[in-house]
Structure 1
Amino acid sequence: MSSNSFPAKLLRFVGIVLMALTGGFTLLGGIGTTCAALAPTKYDSMKGLAPFQWLYILFVLLGIAIGVWGIWATVKLVRGLPDSYKMSLQALIAGVVIGGFHIYMSRMLRGKSMPVDAVVYTTVLTLIIFLLFKIPTIWQGVDFSKAKSSDSKKAGGAAAIVVGLFTLTVQYTMGATHTWGGVNYADAFNTTMTIIGVGLLLLGAGLFLSLNHAKKAALRLQVQE
């Protein structure tokens, strides 16, 4: 498979978007665990976590760290750096291990583990796809370090837009699992999430516009020649 073939470009695009979504999802999941970690006795469904409050504070810190790690890996994938794939795998494996343990503890202590399940399932899906990328015939084309800058920027722009949309709608998508006593705690950081979400949308749009501008400039040069 050639690195410039359509299948290779499509797979890199999917990989970058999934990695960005997983990193963003993990980061928001870590932040979202704050309510249960800092005040478990405040909510009836979370009281079982109280003896292990220190562990859930650790889950918050690790979730945020792994989320940032995943986003950093995504940036490296977009830039086509040699260690981008390795870093992506490391972040994904860490997410599955920590997330899996988080699920186990939550089910043992309170009988359920949503919404961390969704974060872990997304991470597992992305990890499986990235492992499949390493099949020799596939990796020949997918190798992120051999991608054209313009192709990676398209994927980066799409990734920023997808994560931006998720950030702007998190209070709705996660509301069902973060509502206690009639209060939607997924909406607790509404202003911050709105600023970040809009910023990501603008970043994604900016990347697409810059590519369009560069394409037009290249066409003008060809005409002049």
Structure 2
Amino acid sequence: MSKAKWWVKVLNIIGIVLMGLTAVATVMAGIGTTCVALAAENYSSKMALIAPYKWVYVLFVLITTAVGVMGVRATIMLIKRKPGAYSFSLITLMAGIVINVIHVVVSRAIRGSSMPTDGIVYITVFTLIIFFIFRIPGIWKEYSRQETDHEDDGRLAAAFTLVACGVSVLIAPEWFAVSHTFEPGGFNWANAWPLQMSLTGILLVLGGLSLAVLPYLRTQQPKPFTIKR
């Protein structure tokens, strides 16, 4: 296969990073819904309205988390350029849009609000649009001609994705503070697990940086030490 053009590689990396961010956001949304699904009455009067429908939100937890895991798998497949990666990514994104739109509709009907699920829908739709752009004939032709054995491109995409996902995990408590503070001056439930979130984010960032830097360090061979007489 011929070598892909630089702009195709850039677009490919952008797509992979967005897929990774969408996957992480979806996983966090699924896991984060657990609190409401199990104890909605403990948070606020509006959240208490969900209590009779806990079973619905348990389903949201299970399905949304599963879709998020599918997103992680899709990201890995894209990085490794596995056959069917593009199709699997489209299926995952569409599944994410469907379940999260249903979540939005149900939440608005029950408690009159659906944030932060709206944000998950937006990022998923945006990522899907980028993947549809790949199918523009001129772009798809170049995209399909990428070398499947070029490890540097995959490593770079993985590095960017890990760093971006790590940063998103670290700033998530601030991003979602408004939608997760149910009473004025109350506790920010988006920061309910600060240690776990911080460790996860830091490890992802460090993993991405090491993936980007270490291969270059290995190529730097130290000069032999000799003693002049």
Task: Please say whether Structure 1 and Structure 2 have the same fold, judged by a TM-score greater than 0.5.
Answer: yes
Structure 2 residue runs of 5 or longer lacking an equivalent are 222-229
Change (3 A) 1:139 1:110: same
Counterparts of 1:1-225 in structure 2, within 5 Å, are 3-42=3-42, 43-143=44-144, 146-147=147-148, 148-181=150-183, 182-213=186-217
Q: Mean Cα displacement is larger for which, 139-148 or 187-196?
A: 139-148
Offset of residue 211 of structure 1: 3.8
Counterparts of 1:46 and 1:208, CA distance in 2? 44
Counterparts of 1:207 and 1:143, CA distance in 2? 25
More helix by share: 1
Task: Report if aligned partners of 1:3, 1:143 keep a CA contact under 8 Å in 2.
Answer: no
Structure 1 residue runs of 5 or longer lacking an equivalent are 218-225
Counterparts of 2:137 and 2:220, CA distance in 1? 36
Counterparts of 2:145 and 2:39, CA distance in 1? 43
Change (3 A) 1:117 1:80: same
Task: Report if aligned partners of 1:3, 1:9 keep a CA contact under 8 Å in 2.
Answer: no
Q: Mean Cα displacement is larger for which, 141-150 or 51-60?
A: 141-150
Offset of residue 115 of structure 1: 0.3
Offset of residue 216 of structure 1: 5.2
Task: Report if aligned partners of 1:81, 1:144 keep a CA contact under 8 Å in 2.
Answer: no
How many residue pairs match? The answer is 217
Query: Percentage identity across aligned positions?
Result: 39
Alpha-carbon RMSD across the aligned residues, in angstroms, is 1.9
The higher radius of gyration belongs to 2
Offset of residue 144 of structure 1: 8.6
Q: Mean Cα displacement is larger for which, 114-123 or 142-151?
A: 142-151
Offset of residue 215 of structure 1: 6.0
Task: Report if aligned partners of 1:81, 1:145 keep a CA contact under 8 Å in 2.
Answer: no
* TM-score under structure 1 length normalisation: 0.90
Offset of residue 64 of structure 1: 1.2
Offset of residue 212 of structure 1: 2.2
Task: Report if aligned partners of 1:82, 1:145 keep a CA contact under 8 Å in 2.
Answer: no
Counterparts of 2:85 and 2:19, CA distance in 1? 11
Task: Report if aligned partners of 2:4, 2:146 keep a CA contact under 8 Å in 1.
Answer: no
Superimposed CA distance per residue, residues 107-134 of structure 1 (whole angstroms, 9 cap, x where no aligned partner): 1111111000000110011011112212
Give 1:67's aligned amino acid: G
Offset of residue 48 of structure 1: 2.0
* TM-score under structure 2 length normalisation: 0.88
Superimposed CA distance per residue, residues 1-29 of structure 1 (whole angstroms, 9 cap, x where no aligned partner): x7521110111011011000000011111
SS at match of 1:82: coil
